[in-house]
Copies of this chain bind each other. A is one copy, B any other.
């Protein structure tokens, strides 16, 4: 049984429950006889290569519990995408600090980093267990049923659309809400939880899993608007045109690219304004509004799915448990049992690293621009119940003046 220090780091975009995983891991590590000190690297892997490392071993439990409920990576994050050289350096630093258990909390890139680091350690004969702790509001990791962080972001998105639909009932018009999601539409699709009865919005949902056509978009909106006198639309920032190219990359003047060569999607209102303009130019609808939900959906203080929070805590503690009992590297994954319990297991790093998972075809009906009942059944337990709302139901008063 490998004995030594543990190091944990957080990578990629934050979530509101990511620190539940951090605290879950710290508390479990405190109870492990195989783990001596519990280190935390600042700003993900970049904190490792720069040796910006804190000793988290002695943080009191009451402080940890407050941190667990605080949104966004408490150890701070990085967008660095480590190559072989970078990972070699990581292993050197881990070795210098006698780190035998390395936990990296992030998405598919973080899983890939774990894999590379694990291979590098093997190469130089340094015994190291590298565990990927899953996290992403995009919900696009392979193997796992769903990802910690997604349920809470989905709760934010669905509560936003529930309010927006009521707003648009009150002052009719067309509303476009742009939701995060480059390659997978899970989060945008979750807006459908706002629909509790016939006629509720969002009425149309466009995701990267379908191909976006301006012509169909205009037809779809026209039909809904004629039927309901309003139209509420949820759109993924990553929607693609018929060439498979992100629509936003066809309209941005100054494109910005990340370390992975992807064009920057968030932090601009361009896509919403572009789609608004299409509708204003094509349809005789005066009131067309677009909002881009932006960073609110991943970091808003106080909107948290209870189930998501519990699971985020568990993947952290399970990471430590699996690493110490199974004595091997891997990625923690969630298995859905019945409707609704979960079980956790360790899956090989290579099954999660690099690639992502789009929504399966049975979750989305491209023709109707709407999610299926199967998707609703999938997503509902992850988000939990939304606050109850009600509409006025009352008899009309007989007219006295107008016939």
| Interface status of A74 (Cβ within 8 A of chain B) | yes
Within 8 A of B (CB), among A39-93: 39-40, 50-56, 58-59, 63, 66-67, 69-79, 92-93
Nearest chain B CB to A78's CB is how many angstroms away?
8
Given contacts A76-B170, A79-B171, A389-B66, contact A266 B289 (CB under 8 A): yes
| Contact between chains at B66 and A392 (CB < 8 Å) | no
Q: Roughly how many angstroms separate A310 CA and B203 CA in the complex, as a whole number?
A: 33
A390 touches B77 (CB 8 A): no
Residues A401 and B291 in contact, CB atoms below 8 Å apart: no
User: Is A288 located at the chain interface by the 8 A CB criterion?
Assistant: yes
3 A-B pairs with least C-beta separation: A269-B269, A267-B289, A291-B294
Partner of A394 from the list B56, B71, B303 (CB cut-off 8 Å) is B56
Which candidate, A125-133, A159-167, A313-321, A348-356, is the interface stretch facing chain B?
Answer: A159-167
**CB of A276 closer than 8 Å to a CB of B:** yes
A399 interfacial by beta-carbon distance below 8 Å: yes
User: Which residues of A, 280-298, contact B by the 8 Å Cβ criterion?
Assistant: 280, 286, 288-296, 298
- Inter-chain contact A295/B72, CB cutoff 8 Å: no
Majority secondary structure of chain A interface residues (helix, strand, loop or mixed): loop
In the assembled complex, A337 has its CB within 8 A of some CB on chain B: no
Distance of A113 Cα from B391 Cα, bound (Å): 26
A66 nearest in chain B by CB position: B390
In the complex, 16 of the A-B residue pairs with CB atoms within 8 angstroms, ordered by the A residue number, are A13-B171, A14-B167, A37-B397, A51-B397, A51-B400, A54-B397, A69-B387, A69-B388, A72-B167, A72-B170, A92-B401, A254-B280, A267-B276, A267-B289, A269-B290, A292-B292
Number of copies: 2
A176 (CB) vs chain B CBs: closest residue: B267
**Contact assessment for B163 and A71 in the assembled complex, using a CB-CB cutoff below 8 Å:** yes
Residues of A at the B interface (CB closer than 8 Å) are: 10, 13-14, 16, 37, 39-40, 50-56, 58-59, 63, 66-67, 69-79, 92-93, 96-97, 159-160, 162-164, 166-167, 169-171, 175, 194, 254, 256, 266-270, 272-273, 276, 280, 286, 288-296, 298-303, 386-397, 399-402
- A267's closest neighbor in chain B, by CB? B289
Known contacts: A73-B170, A276-B267, A392-B74. The answer to whether A291 contacts B296 by CB under 8 A is yes
Chain B contacts of A388 at CB under 8 A?
Answer: 66, 69
In Å, the complex CA distance between A167 and B77 comes to 9
Is the CB–CB distance between A289 and B295 below 8 Å? Answer: yes
What separation, in Å, do the CA atoms of A397 and B38 have in the docked complex? 10
The CA of A10 and the CA of B93, in the complex, are separated in Å by 64
Q: Is the CB of A97 within 8 A of B55?
A: no
Provide the bound-state CA to CA distance between A294 and B63, in Å.
35
Beta-carbon contact of A77 and B396 below 8 Å: no
